[in-house]
């Protein structure tokens, strides 16, 4: 398993994107909404059980992590990733072949899936083919987010004490008789972790760049276990909860504490 990483630029934000089909009221443009609960939907009238997504990144970019979020795929769904510098779906620099989507439920009924590319191939065109016959003819595919980006991984991995938790913000009030009244709200995840062995270049170069780019208002992707057994379920698309200071712990060693909260 590779070191944990942060992806702080989603190439989809500025790409030219298209899907094989879309419902007019829930267009494909919604996969780059910052909110996972805003979803694209395929057109149920086409009776399709297979769909494709394409993105032109305008220029070749290193790609190390692919993610689809808040999707409704079934356990037998498959996808195929193709990367090219010529045209979407041709003369590939990478072809994943047909592999299981293997989406995981992460909170409530939300599912997500990720694909880690350790060699980080450089490509301009990204093409995804989905197939999900078990979803049923006439049942549309839906998705609330698409991430394509590089992944920064520090020289030394996360320190011990990494925490992930499910947060339920539902307010609970009690009557004089002791009855509980709950206003149900969507749950989200939070990860808290430390990088305690940053080099000076990482601390004053990369971390400052990430802070400046993401702040607390722009989405980023936290991948806790790239290539690991729990890669998909431990990945969080969200926001920094706050920008903590970077400490000069000792000679040539810097440390930083992070909190990432899932964005709905």
pLDDT of residue 91: 80
Domains defined along the chain, listed by start: 5-149 (2.60.120.260), 163-262 (no CATH)
Residue that is written with structure tokens 């049942």 in the block: 139
Q: What angle is formed at CA 72 by the lines to CA 68 and CA 77, rounded to 5 degrees?
A: 80
At 216-259, the pLDDT tens digits run 999 999 999 999 999 999 999 999 999 999 999 999 899 999 99
At 10-57, the pLDDT tens digits run 999 999 999 999 999 999 999 999 999 999 999 999 999 999 999 999
CA dihedral of residues 15, 20, 25, 27 (deg, nearest 10): -10
Distance (Å, whole) CA 25 – CA 22? 8
pLDDT of residue 136: 84
pLDDT of residue 258: 98
Work out whether strand 172-174 and strand 163-167 pair parallel, antiparallel, or are unpaired: unpaired
Percent of the chain topping pLDDT 90: 95
At 123-161, the pLDDT tens digits run 999 999 999 999 988 899 999 999 999 999 999 999 999
pLDDT of residue 88: 62
pLDDT of residue 154: 97
pLDDT of 89 strictly over 70: no
The answer to whether 6 and 259 have CB atoms below 8 angstroms apart is: no
Distance (Å, whole) CA 151 – CA 65? 6
Three-class HEC string of 91-137: EEEEECCCEECCCEEEECCEEEEEEECCCCCEEEEEEEEEECHHHCC
13 against 90, higher pLDDT: 13
Residue 211 parent element (H or E): helix 207-214
At 170-218, the pLDDT tens digits run 999 999 999 999 999 999 999 999 999 999 999 999 999 999 999 999 9
């Amino acid at each position: 398993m590779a070191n944990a990483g942060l992806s702080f630029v989603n190439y989809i934000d500025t790409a030219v994107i298209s899907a094989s089909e879309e419902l007019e009221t829930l267009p494909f443009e919604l996969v780059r909404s910052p909110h996972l609960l805003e979803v694209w939907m395929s057109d149920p009238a086409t009776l399709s059980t297979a769909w494709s997504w394409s993105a032109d990144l305008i220029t070749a970019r290193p790609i190390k992590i692919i993610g689809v979020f808040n999707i409704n795929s079934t356990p037998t769904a498959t996808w195929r990733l193709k990367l090219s510098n010529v045209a979407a779906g041709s003369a590939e620099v990478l072809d994943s072949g047909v592999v299981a989507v293997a989406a995981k439920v992460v909170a409530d009924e939300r599912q997500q899936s990720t694909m880690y590319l350790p060699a980080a191939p450089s490509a301009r065109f990204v093409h995804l083919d989905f197939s999900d016959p078990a979803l049923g003819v006439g049942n549309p595919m839906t998705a609330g987010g698409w991430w394509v980006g590089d992944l920064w991984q520090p020289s030394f991995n996360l320190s011990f004490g990494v925490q992930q938790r499910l947060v339920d913000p539902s307010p609970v009030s009690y009557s004089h008789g002791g009855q509980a009244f709950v206003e149900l709200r969507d749950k989200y995840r939070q990860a808290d972790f430390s990088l305690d062995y940053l080099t000076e270049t990482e601390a004053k170069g990369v971390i400052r760049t990430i802070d400046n780019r993401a702040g607390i208002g722009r989405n980023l992707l936290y991948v806790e276990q790239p290539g690991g057994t729990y890669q998909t379920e431990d990945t969080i698309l969200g926001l920094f909860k706050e920008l903590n200071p970077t400490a000069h712990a000792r000679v040539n060693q810097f440390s930083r504490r992070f909190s990432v909260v899932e964005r709905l």
